[in-house]
Structure 1
Amino acid sequence: MISVILIFLLKFYMFSCGSNCRNLVTCGSCIGYAYETCVWCPAEDHKGYRCQSINFHKENKSWCNEHIYNPGFKSNILQNDTFNSGENGGKVVQYMPQKMEILVRPGTPVTFKMSYKPAQDYPLDVYYLMDYSYTMHNHKKQLETQGLEIYSELTKLTNNVQLGIGSFVEKPALPFAGPYSNAYSFENHLSLTKNMTLFKNVLTGNLTGSNYDDPEAGLDALMQAMVCQKQIGWRESARRIIVLTTDSTYHSAGDGKFVGAVKPNDMKCHLEDNKYTMSLVLDYPSVSQINKVATEHNFKIIFAAIPDVKIIYEGLAKKIRGAKYVELKEASNLITMIKNEYLELIRSIDINPEVPPHIELLLEPDCRVSGNCIVKHNESININATLKVKSCHESKTPSTVKLGPVALNEKLVISVISDCECDCERNILKTAFNSTKCSRNGTYQCGICKCNENRYGDDCRCEGTSTISVDLDKCKMNSSDTNYCSGRGTCSCGKCLLCYKGFSGDYCQYDDTACPSPGGKLCADRGVCRYGKCECDSKSTGVGCECPIDNNSCFAPHSKEICSGNGKCECGECICLPMESSNRTCSGRFCDSCDEFAEKRCLELENYAECNYLYNKIYCDESYNQTSLTEVKIVTKLDNTLPDHQMAKWCKKQFGNGTALVFKYLYPLSSPNILHVIIQEKLEQPPEVNLFIAIGVPFGVLILIGLLTIIIWKILVDIHDAREYKNFAEKSAAAGFTVPGIVNPVYRAPTVNINNPTFNRQSQ
């Protein structure tokens, strides 16, 4: 019985697999179907469906008595220049191949390999952007020394180094600077050069500027130093580093209105005679604008500032991709940091792909994530890529895919041609036109007829566009049916050619609106209802396409374990299982609602909570790759007065100074899929020692012990004396002595009385 059921299920599976493809009536639409691999039967005498799935074909070899049409892919490397460090004046090549051409049908993965090897003595440009305000006199000597040491150390890494110098003070207008303060936003003193004598002379020049307020025009100067590439002399293929040295904070967007510079910064070059001419017209650039230009033009920025403004520039460096902070002092590690930045640029690779929406790309290792692809010294790294076209593109022109390192101008350009037309459709013989196989009223191609205008039918013998056939019985699924095409379509030439909207099948017998509708949506809006069943897209499965294929929805925010490691993922939801430690079962959307798991969850969330406490949610979500599944709120004090807070779990992150960050996390009843993190605004302080209690309590306890000791001793002595007296009285009575109370038996009354003359009483 079981074997019969299995055979039935296998046949049903084969039938359903074929049905995804069999609705495709042309060869081009058959091979262009991306959800599964379909094959086409071009045999002339074939009866039935010509398009079937590859699985159906494997199980039914007799389905097509001719070679099926099942194109794969063709890839051709058009340019593959080998690695070259520029010897003998040749072109520098660090990334290969450079050009490819791929012909592929939708749904078919294409694999290829890329390689990267950093060239020796690759050009490096370092621009020294200095604060020339009066307060920098104290640091002038060390800047000169470090500037010369930077060149000396970098030439040990590469013999292709250029250095340049620029300076800044402040926008030259009140209230930032006075009329005689010689203030300016940016001046280029020396464009990038290899002439170290000239560099030394400019570096040892005098500081000439001054201003009134503490913040300075560092961002104005930084923007001009990046966008004025021709004037500064940035080489197109060089690694680029800017060292900004200062002893003060910076002005940002919005501050310019105080001097009348109200126009937003346009991120364009405005240098004349090496001086910035729009400082009183354009506002200071925003931090996001600085980040945008630095990212697009591959700049590495190092902020060298004094310890007093360390927090300011550390925060700024976190908001600019690749930026770093180093402390400006005599024993500064600025030179070491610049060397490390250069080594990091040549020893790691970040891929920035440009891929059209209808194409999917996978990389192994995934060099789109910074730090994933490290290159060993004098070695190359291979990157395996998998490309897949998800659907036929509307335009018949080839699509372009570009892959290349972020910090280099070298790219791999791939021309991708979607194979959505069969060879027999492209190359039609003259004899195929008005073929006898098509009743001389159509073109014979790929085993079928493409009828001329006003003709239809398998062999184009039917005239018109919608004529009722005389052979209606062929359009009935059962002989007992009273309606042809199930009453839902048009019967023509013995076939149901046109089913009404919402119906499908050979006899229009399937209602394409009657498929399962999880959540009230047909096929959960993740597939198409055909032939009475849901045909799900590539990311969904289930009878009603209600289940995602991946397990992404079973990962709690900030967790790297499915269902927090306490359950299994089924149909996109967590099924909680007993824990090995306590045999108890956690509850909740992600199986993390239990006291035993709270400590682990707190450890997963504490860095994210600290980030939100110090910065903001947008920055932290980007840093931790978070989505809208997390809500963060900072409150004055944590308590249980808010709704649902009785279910919250308390967490605490201890810092080295004894303080602690206190926060709670919960999944509210109103939004159980969203993690809420509530952070207390004030850090929890370490407990203070009360000297009075610390000293008084031990001293008081000591006194109390002493008093109790004396009292107990007195009671014991009295008891002992009473026993001794009783024993004495009993022995005296046994010896014949009378013991009258407390009178001594040997006592004798006096015989002579002597009166005291000073006592005014008579003796009696």
Structure 2
Amino acid sequence: MNTWEAEKSKEMGFRVIVLWLLILVPTSSIVFAKECIKTKVSNCKECIQAGPDCAWCKKANFTSAGEPDSARCDTMQALAERGCEETDIENPGSIELSRDRLQLGSNIQLIPRRINLRLRPGQTGEFVVKFKRAEGYPVDLYYLMDLSFSMNDDLENVKGLGDKLLTALNSFTKSAHIGFGSFVDKTVLPFVSTHPEQLKNPCPDKTISCQPPFAFKHVLNLTGNGESFKEHVGNQYISGNLDSPEGGLDAMMQVAVCGDKIGWRNNTRLLVYATDDGFHIAGDGKLAAILTPNDGECHLDDNVYKRNAEFDYPSVGQLAQMLSKNNIQVVFAVTSSVFKTYKDLSDLIPKSVVGTLSHDSNNVVALIEKAYQDLSSEVILDHGVSPDFLEILYDSNCTKGKLNQPKGTCSDVKINEEISFKVKVTAKKCVPDQSFSIRALGFTDQVAVSITTVCDCSCDDPPMPGACNSSGTIMCGICSCNPGYVGKNCECKTGGRTSHELEQNCRKDNSSAVCSGAGECICDQCVCHTNEDPAKKIYGRYCQCDNWNCEMFNGMVCGGNGECDCSTCKCFSGYEGSACQCKISTDSCRNSRGSICSGRGTCECNKCTCKGGYIPPFCEKCPGCPSQCPRFGPCVECYIQQGDKTSGNCSHVCPGVTAEKVEQITEQTFCKEKDSDNCWMQYVLYENDGEDKHTITYTLKRECPEAPNFIAIVGGTIGGVLLIGLILLLIWKFITEVKDRKEYQRFEKERQQATWKGDINPIFTTATTTVKNPHFDDEEE
């Protein structure tokens, strides 16, 4: 079995299980029980604000003596079970819904037109909104074109667009109007050149005549006259700017908010935005020192946006809000190079689409036809921005509908197809009357919803003579006392004291609740609440005690072996423990000497509970622990120094100690500490019964160290230093000798390898020519 088959098998198995559960489980068991959480409820008004399921019983004498008025607040079922008649139950604000009775038709696409809701806080009101896409609904189309230099060839095609656009629009609508506007960018540096020559002709090609730059120019009001469109658009010519992004968002904002000057009618509104480049966004105005945020107001003067240098570009969110508010759907007709940029922008603007414009805009009519069909077939129900205390959700009843969404959405809605949305409105708290409108984005019809939160009771109590001790009147079943009287039945005179002062006597301390939250303060005294179970009682000066909130053992209060008294168990004879869980016995608490807990604790539940510093099982202070030995060292030294004398007294350093001298220590475990002479002492420490009582067995023998031989130490130290110095000197001499020998050997080796030239010095060379002096020849003869 492959992965797909395995997943399919699991899904089928899950469906079978769910089906069997639906068959076997009764429908009534699936319904969740209603609940009323009544915290600090004292009257009808507070009760109905506690939750949508809370109701109030206004029946006289419904509560018994000592029972709080909060008992009147509960679910309708619980109050009825306790004997409150339906006519005595106050449950205001159950969902009340009123609507008009309009029908869907050619001129009405969204019904109802008005909804009135009366809701309790936390209650959800539901109603159904229906939508039917009408055939031939009137359309207004405003063509907003980028007239920067790169759109020169596009302008020529748009000039002859009037009749084609009207013909295309009239093919699917009864009435079509078209208008025209254009934009470039803000008329300040660095967006456009402010050089006088550049302002006259901003185009880079000076052979082409260009008009001065402008931010936005409204050229033609929406009209059904195609010839008028040709005439006005035909008079337009190109302009130019410096940077690539254009001021398109500025222009779209003016088109959206200047409805009267544009000529928008109360029908479907389309804005076609044609460009081949990107756009400036909020914050870019800082490049020109424009710091004032866009105010979202109309600033057309003679159909030109002349205050563009005063306000920054609008943000995308601000523009989307204004387009949605004015029911304008946007068709971004852009070139392929910036398609991705405007697709991302379209995702942030509801009811907008993006189409790819050819290089000369010759496909714009087909693009608009397709965009209109796409926009009209998508229905998005929205209510705008609602207060935080209102939750508004939609369940879409259509092919691709989703549940519990912040907006209702249906796609691929055909002409004359009827769809519906369930709208769920929840008021989270009591608020003044609220209203909001639900609109299908891009369509003019809307549903006006008004909400009233019901946060008070309107009880109609019959007159009861003598009620409230003739010192008050009945309101919703409880007494509203006259000035000077307080109490459940107005039985207490205040004597000039305020109710707060009277309540102070019913508080255990300033921070505690009145009567510990378990009673009522009547005439500055606590009257504790009664319990449905007569075995359970609340008592005490401040109703701070009861007879059931005690420690449990074996599932019973005080183990069934005692009585609970103000959160403490009082055990019967023969039992003990915090929950009376133990029979009284001391067998496991006695030490070898028969003393209970060594006199240093109490035996509870046959176990020692030791005093501070002592440990179980018999409350000894660290038995066998050497850490106790140093504490008694000075005491033992005192007895050793005293020796055999009997007149000495060591009690000042040995409180609670009994000392015994022995000849020799025989125990295996003993203390060994040094005295003030640095000698070792040996003694045995025993704990006696009682707190801080000990017996010490010691011996007079001490182990003292011999005095050091200073001559040997000094002589040995000096001899050692000399020996180490001699050794270091010999090592140094050895290393030096080895190094010198190596250097000499290297010198001899280099000398032997040197080559000496053997030629005879020319000064001592024998003459090669011999000349005889003739004068000497005669003499020789």
TM-score (norm 2): 0.52
Q: Contact 1:215–1:249 at 8 Å: present in 2 too?
A: yes
Partner of 2:425: 387
Partner of 2:102: 81
Instruction: Give 1:242 deviation, angstroms.
Output: 1.7
Partners of 1:487 and 1:300 in 2: how far apart? 61
Give the direction of change, closer, same or farther, for the CA distance of 1:495–1:349 in structure 2 (3 Å limit): farther
Which of residues 377, 382, 397 is equivalent to 2:415?
A: 377
Q: Which has the higher contact order (CA 8 A, sep 6+)?
A: 2
Q: Output aligned runs, 1:268-307, within 5 Å.
A: 268-307=297-336
In structure 2, the gaps of 5 or more residues are 1-32, 202-210, 397-403, 500-505, 508-513, 530-537, 550-566, 568-781
Q: RMSD of the alignment, in Å?
A: 4.3
Instruction: Give 1:195 deviation, angstroms.
Output: 0.8
1:389-442 Cα deviation digits (max 9, x unpaired)? 43334x5xx333543333345433333333333332xx456x45xx40211100
Partner of 2:178: 163
Partners of 1:119 and 1:214 in 2: how far apart? 42
Note if 1:42 corresponds to 2:59: yes
Give the direction of change, closer, same or farther, for the CA distance of 1:345–1:77 in structure 2 (3 Å limit): farther
1:470-500 Cα deviation digits (max 9, x unpaired)? xxxxx99xxxxxxx9469987425973799x
Give the direction of change, closer, same or farther, for the CA distance of 1:121–1:166 in structure 2 (3 Å limit): same
Partners of 2:342 and 2:35 in 1: how far apart? 63
Partner of 2:471: 441
Give the direction of change, closer, same or farther, for the CA distance of 1:421–1:241 in structure 2 (3 Å limit): same
Q: Contact 1:42–1:69 at 8 Å: present in 2 too?
A: no
Q: Residue type matched to 2:394 in 1?
A: L
Partner of 1:180: 200
Q: Which moved more, 1:453-462 or 1:414-423?
A: 414-423
Give the direction of change, closer, same or farther, for the CA distance of 1:491–1:400 in structure 2 (3 Å limit): same
Q: Contact 2:128–2:423 at 8 Å: present in 1 too?
A: yes
Give the direction of change, closer, same or farther, for the CA distance of 1:415–1:346 in structure 2 (3 Å limit): same
Q: Residue type matched to 1:445 in 2?
A: M
Q: Residue type matched to 2:254 in 1?
A: Q
Instruction: Give 1:33 deviation, angstroms.
Output: 2.0
Any idea what SS the aligned residue of 1:73 has?
A: coil
Give the direction of change, closer, same or farther, for the CA distance of 1:77–1:459 in structure 2 (3 Å limit): same
Give the direction of change, closer, same or farther, for the CA distance of 1:225–1:459 in structure 2 (3 Å limit): closer
Q: Residue type matched to 1:385 in 2?
A: V
Partner of 2:129: 114
Instruction: Give 1:40 deviation, angstroms.
Output: 1.5
Q: Contact 1:17–1:55 at 8 Å: present in 2 too?
A: no
Note if 1:53 corresponds to 2:74: yes
Q: Contact 1:39–1:70 at 8 Å: present in 2 too?
A: yes
Q: Residue type matched to 2:47 in 1?
A: C
Q: Contact 1:30–1:38 at 8 Å: present in 2 too?
A: yes
Q: Output aligned runs, 1:489-504, within 5 Å.
A: 491-492=521-522, 496=526
Instruction: Give 1:34 deviation, angstroms.
Output: 0.7
Q: Contact 1:168–1:185 at 8 Å: present in 2 too?
A: yes
Q: Contact 1:30–1:40 at 8 Å: present in 2 too?
A: no
Instruction: Give 1:95 deviation, angstroms.
Output: 2.1
Partners of 2:147 and 2:443 in 1: how far apart? 33
The structure with the largest alpha-carbon Rg is 2
Note if 1:400 corresponds to 2:424: no
Give the direction of change, closer, same or farther, for the CA distance of 1:295–1:195 in structure 2 (3 Å limit): same
Instruction: Give 1:457 deviation, angstroms.
Output: 2.4
In structure 1, the gaps of 5 or more residues are 1-15, 87-92, 469-474, 477-483, 500-504, 516-531, 533-764
Note if 1:419 corresponds to 2:440: no
Q: Residue type matched to 2:409 in 1?
A: G
Instruction: Give 1:141 deviation, angstroms.
Output: 4.1
Partner of 1:325: 354
Instruction: Give 1:190 deviation, angstroms.
Output: 0.9
Note if 1:460 corresponds to 2:480: no
Partner of 2:395: 364
Partner of 2:257: 227
Partners of 2:406 and 2:517 in 1: how far apart? 56
Q: Contact 1:356–1:399 at 8 Å: present in 2 too?
A: no
Partner of 2:111: 96
Any idea what SS the aligned residue of 1:189 has?
A: strand
Partner of 2:147: 132
Q: Contact 1:496–1:506 at 8 Å: present in 2 too?
A: no
Partners of 2:415 and 2:240 in 1: how far apart? 46
Partner of 2:748: none
Partners of 2:150 and 2:144 in 1: how far apart? 16
Give the direction of change, closer, same or farther, for the CA distance of 1:40–1:22 in structure 2 (3 Å limit): farther
Partners of 2:517 and 2:335 in 1: how far apart? 85
Any idea what SS the aligned residue of 1:458 has?
A: coil
Which of residues 190, 196, 201 is equivalent to 2:231?
A: 201
Q: Residue type matched to 1:33 in 2?
A: A
Partners of 1:263 and 1:135 in 2: how far apart? 30
Q: Residue type matched to 1:244 in 2?
A: Y
Partners of 2:251 and 2:182 in 1: how far apart? 7
Partners of 1:351 and 1:123 in 2: how far apart? 20
Any idea what SS the aligned residue of 2:165 has?
A: helix
Partners of 1:383 and 1:25 in 2: how far apart? 41
Instruction: Give 1:257 deviation, angstroms.
Output: 5.7
Q: Which moved more, 1:362-371 or 1:149-158?
A: 362-371
Any idea what SS the aligned residue of 2:470 has?
A: coil
Instruction: Give 1:65 deviation, angstroms.
Output: 9.9
Count of residues paired in the alignment? 468
Give the direction of change, closer, same or farther, for the CA distance of 1:387–1:42 in structure 2 (3 Å limit): farther
1:663-707 Cα deviation digits (max 9, x unpaired)? xxxxxxxxxxxxxxxxxxxxxxxxxxxxxxxxxxxxxxxxxxxxx
Partner of 1:351: 381
1:151-192 Cα deviation digits (max 9, x unpaired)? 222211112211011122344456624132122222222111
TM-score (norm 1): 0.53
Q: Residue type matched to 1:379 in 2?
A: E
Give the direction of change, closer, same or farther, for the CA distance of 1:291–1:383 in structure 2 (3 Å limit): closer
Give the direction of change, closer, same or farther, for the CA distance of 1:441–1:320 in structure 2 (3 Å limit): same
Q: Residue type matched to 2:418 in 1?
A: S
Give the direction of change, closer, same or farther, for the CA distance of 1:342–1:21 in structure 2 (3 Å limit): same
